[in-house]
A and B are shown apart, each in its own frame.
Chain A
């Protein structure tokens, strides 16, 4: 009973939901990237690596330019470059996309730790000073609304960007010709090809988008939340986003709802002082939840039909 009342106390606090939304919006970026990539038919487990690369280069850029926007651009380009490698190897060379994606993740760990050691003489890069950090924006007037103001209108700028991108992506994917084409390429590339759609171009575009979005998420993490780079600092968030994408049945808003579940899990784990359960059990909650949800999704979560299958013109 004590635990229930402690839980209740946490669930009604604005701090809790502010944190949950921040972490949910952070995860939503790579998850959205995954949705776009896999809707086009390219399996993508590389969000983790693209995010890590983005995080590293955002810090390097923030330290040299003292400007968060330059850092965001550099981070997105870095994530996009990693995505381009994945796209090139998956599409051009028709590689096993899971192995290619996994290799991206290893390459990102190797590259960032290698460069981190090189640039800082094995000491680790220094902290990003306030001039290089992504700002928190308090929306005037609205931020004074009790509870809701704190949760929705006192957030880092990337939280708003993330929500806007979700809405735009949803619109593009389901309400425009481009979106229809993208989905066609992921479901039945032969038919799309016959109809005159350029399968390869759409797939390259979608995979690179996933890299840009994951790079942005890396920048958010590194210069919006942590303000420093630590080796391997994404610590599996890209993989969580991957799971969110699947729970969300490859739709932007579905993925966002799943990301919010993980965000709530993160926020719960951060409230160990209040809830009297061993900290590490709280931190298990999102992962166990993911397993339970996955197990419950019997036959209801179906990927795009051509997801993961390299396209060969004319068939083989």
Chain B
């Protein structure tokens, strides 16, 4: 991947004055790892599909059809597929930002699912209780309720982390299960269950629903408007990504969050209150998560709360979204589009070629593995020293030898780059 920048190396002195070339190179470097990870995942996915007796090419065609509305040979309506994809992208993007802001502070928020459930519960309560208010007032209130619900739930984690050192991975997971049970309590023969129905609440009224992108009456691209569920929630999520970018790059708080993420000790020496930053970061992360829940109620295709929301995996998929997007706003947007397309496409793939849509989770896992292990860089580092196993240190001598090999191969790799 970095090879693409290699031929430009001799011009680099001249190019140093041109910010555009430098910028392009930076973008190339930033994209190399995620792009490589995605390609690797698709290759492994193809092997798995073939092993399961499927046709990888036909499967990926169906995936692309369901995801992006291209290569549709089964009579699907491309516009409808794109609308479905947008419906998947919206919560993934929002939740990806929630995970991302925590990652920037060095916190791993596995609790986005619980936080978005709390957000959805709060949003539904406001939507139902204040149903008589006009939309311009009710919808912002509903979103605010979602934000408060999510921030409260994540705030517990932040406070516990800051004052007792309780690891956020464990506390967020515990709070997820508390949230699932709260949802069960409210909806399974509980106070929020709609009369004469099971495990769902009443839907929020028309005033609390976001407008859809395509009017619900009339025919569009040969399909009734009512078939298109994508709402303007996608613009809210995109605006949130803008807020995220501004927060991280242009504000003192963003600087503090990044500083704490890089090194808590250094941040402390710089006069930053690590405790305060951890709590504030979790509040922001929870706010994004809670807004995801609000968007699900006001802007999803269902406008009610349902107990099976505990089986929804948005909050976990968001971790892959954020990591693939390298925790920067534009990256999170791009990877939310990719994963949204994969999820929507997986459904078409399952119905068209009978390959389980769960292959998407396997692709997701492979992407995470290769991002975490940084296979590409490792390969480059290790290729010249194959055969010399750095994993066999026998005392200091071997350690020294391994170190030499490491340094040597790095130099060799750099030499390759120059050649």
Residue positions of A touching B, CB distance < 8 A: 45, 85, 89, 91-96, 98-100, 102-104, 106-107, 109-111, 113-114, 117-118, 122, 193-194, 196, 198-200, 232, 236, 239, 242-243, 246, 278-281, 283-284, 287-288, 290-291, 294-299, 313-314
Chain B 306-321 against A: per-residue CB contact (8 Å), 1 yes, 0 no? 0000010000100110
Contact B361 A242 (CB under 8 A): no
Contact B360 A291 (CB under 8 A): no
**Shortest beta-carbon contacts, A-B, top 4:** A110-B361, A107-B365, A103-B368, A93-B373
Checking A102, A199, A287 against B110 with a beta-carbon cut-off of 8 angstroms, the contacting residue is A102
Contact A280 B188 (CB under 8 A): yes
Minimal beta-carbon separation of A136 from chain B (angstroms): 29
B174 surroundings in chain A (CB, below 8 A): 243, 287-288, 290-291, 294
Q: Give Cα A163–Cα B115 distance, bound, in whole angstroms.
A: 37
Minimal beta-carbon separation of B292 from chain A (angstroms): 19
- Tell me, yes or no, whether B169 is within 8 Å of chain A by CB: yes
Contact B319 A102 (CB under 8 A): yes
Q: Which of B352-379 contact A (CB under 8 A)?
A: 354, 356, 358-366, 368-369, 371-375, 378
- Tell me, yes or no, whether B395 is within 8 Å of chain A by CB: yes
Closest residue to A282 on the B side, CB-wise?
B181
Contact A194 B395 (CB under 8 A): yes
* Number of residues from B at the complex interface, CB < 8 A: 63
Contact B170 A314 (CB under 8 A): no
Checking A89, A246, A283, A298 against B164 with a beta-carbon cut-off of 8 angstroms, the contacting residue is A298
Q: Which of B250-291 contact A (CB under 8 A)?
A: none
Q: Give Cα A236–Cα B170 distance, bound, in whole angstroms.
A: 11
Q: Which of B85-114 contact A (CB under 8 A)?
A: 108, 110
Closest residue to A303 on the B side, CB-wise?
B167
B400 surroundings in chain A (CB, below 8 A): 314
Closest residue to A283 on the B side, CB-wise?
B181
Contact A297 B166 (CB under 8 A): yes
B373 surroundings in chain A (CB, below 8 A): 89, 93-95, 100
Contact A295 B160 (CB under 8 A): yes
- Tell me, yes or no, whether B136 is within 8 Å of chain A by CB: no
Minimal beta-carbon separation of A241 from chain B (angstroms): 11
B366 surroundings in chain A (CB, below 8 A): 103, 107
A118 surroundings in chain B (CB, below 8 A): 52-53, 356
Q: Which of B136-163 contact A (CB under 8 A)?
A: 156, 160, 163
Q: Give Cα A236–Cα B360 distance, bound, in whole angstroms.
A: 21
A selection of 19 A-B contacts at a CB cut-off of 8 Å is A89-B372, A93-B374, A93-B378, A95-B369, A95-B372, A100-B369, A104-B365, A110-B358, A110-B363, A122-B356, A194-B395, A200-B393, A236-B177, A294-B164, A294-B170, A295-B164, A313-B398, A314-B396, A314-B399
- Tell me, yes or no, whether B182 is within 8 Å of chain A by CB: yes
Contact A99 B356 (CB under 8 A): no
Contact B160 A294 (CB under 8 A): yes
Contact B160 A291 (CB under 8 A): yes
Q: Give Cα A109–Cα B363 distance, bound, in whole angstroms.
A: 12
Closest residue to A243 on the B side, CB-wise?
B170
Minimal beta-carbon separation of A157 from chain B (angstroms): 29
Q: Give Cα A298–Cα B161 distance, bound, in whole angstroms.
A: 10
Checking B173, B178, B319, B394 against A239 with a beta-carbon cut-off of 8 angstroms, the contacting residue is B173
Closest residue to A103 on the B side, CB-wise?
B368
Q: Give Cα A94–Cα B320 distance, bound, in whole angstroms.
A: 19
Minimal beta-carbon separation of B304 from chain A (angstroms): 19
Q: Give Cα A295–Cα B177 distance, bound, in whole angstroms.
A: 17
Interface class of chain B by DSSP: helix
Contact B361 A290 (CB under 8 A): no
B176 surroundings in chain A (CB, below 8 A): 236
Checking B160, B167, B368, B374 against A246 with a beta-carbon cut-off of 8 angstroms, the contacting residue is B167
B226 surroundings in chain A (CB, below 8 A): none
Minimal beta-carbon separation of A54 from chain B (angstroms): 17
Contact B356 A200 (CB under 8 A): no
Contact B372 A198 (CB under 8 A): no
Q: Give Cα A59–Cα B393 distance, bound, in whole angstroms.
A: 41
Q: Give Cα A287–Cα B184 distance, bound, in whole angstroms.
A: 15
Checking B48, B163, B185, B364 against A278 with a beta-carbon cut-off of 8 angstroms, the contacting residue is B185
Contact B181 A89 (CB under 8 A): no
Contact A287 B178 (CB under 8 A): yes
Contact B359 A110 (CB under 8 A): yes
A99 surroundings in chain B (CB, below 8 A): 323, 368, 371-372
Minimal beta-carbon separation of A57 from chain B (angstroms): 16
Q: Give Cα A118–Cα B51 distance, bound, in whole angstroms.
A: 11
Checking A91, A110, A287, A294 against B360 with a beta-carbon cut-off of 8 angstroms, the contacting residue is A110
B52 surroundings in chain A (CB, below 8 A): 114, 118
B323 surroundings in chain A (CB, below 8 A): 99
- Tell me, yes or no, whether B391 is within 8 Å of chain A by CB: yes
**Given contact pairs A284-B181, A295-B164, A89 touches B399 in the complex (Cβ within 8 A):** no
Given A107-B366, A114-B52, 13 extra CB contacts under 8 A:
A96-B372, A98-B169, A100-B372, A106-B364, A107-B365, A107-B369, A198-B393, A242-B170, A246-B167, A246-B170, A278-B185, A279-B185, A280-B190
Contact A110 B372 (CB under 8 A): no
Chain B 3-16 against A: per-residue CB contact (8 Å), 1 yes, 0 no? 00000000000000
Contact A117 B356 (CB under 8 A): yes
Contact B165 A281 (CB under 8 A): no
A199 surroundings in chain B (CB, below 8 A): 393
- Tell me, yes or no, whether B412 is within 8 Å of chain A by CB: no
Q: Give Cα A242–Cα B311 distance, bound, in whole angstroms.
A: 21
Contact B358 A198 (CB under 8 A): no
Contact B398 A113 (CB under 8 A): no
Contact B165 A109 (CB under 8 A): no
Q: Give Cα A287–Cα B170 distance, bound, in whole angstroms.
A: 10
Q: Give Cα A246–Cα B168 distance, bound, in whole angstroms.
A: 12
**Given contact pairs A114-B362, A290-B174, A295-B164, A198 touches B394 in the complex (Cβ within 8 A):** yes
Contact B316 A297 (CB under 8 A): no
Minimal beta-carbon separation of A77 from chain B (angstroms): 18
Q: Give Cα A93–Cα B371 distance, bound, in whole angstroms.
A: 11
Q: Give Cα A239–Cα B174 distance, bound, in whole angstroms.
A: 9
Closest residue to B354 on the A side, CB-wise?
A122
Closest residue to A113 on the B side, CB-wise?
B358
Contact A284 B399 (CB under 8 A): no
Contact B171 A291 (CB under 8 A): yes
A104 surroundings in chain B (CB, below 8 A): 365
- Tell me, yes or no, whether B175 is within 8 Å of chain A by CB: yes
A291 surroundings in chain B (CB, below 8 A): 156, 160, 166, 171, 174-175, 178
Minimal beta-carbon separation of A248 from chain B (angstroms): 13
Checking A94, A110, A200, A278 against B365 with a beta-carbon cut-off of 8 angstroms, the contacting residue is A110
- Tell me, yes or no, whether B402 is within 8 Å of chain A by CB: yes
Checking B164, B175, B184, B391 against A92 with a beta-carbon cut-off of 8 angstroms, the contacting residue is B391
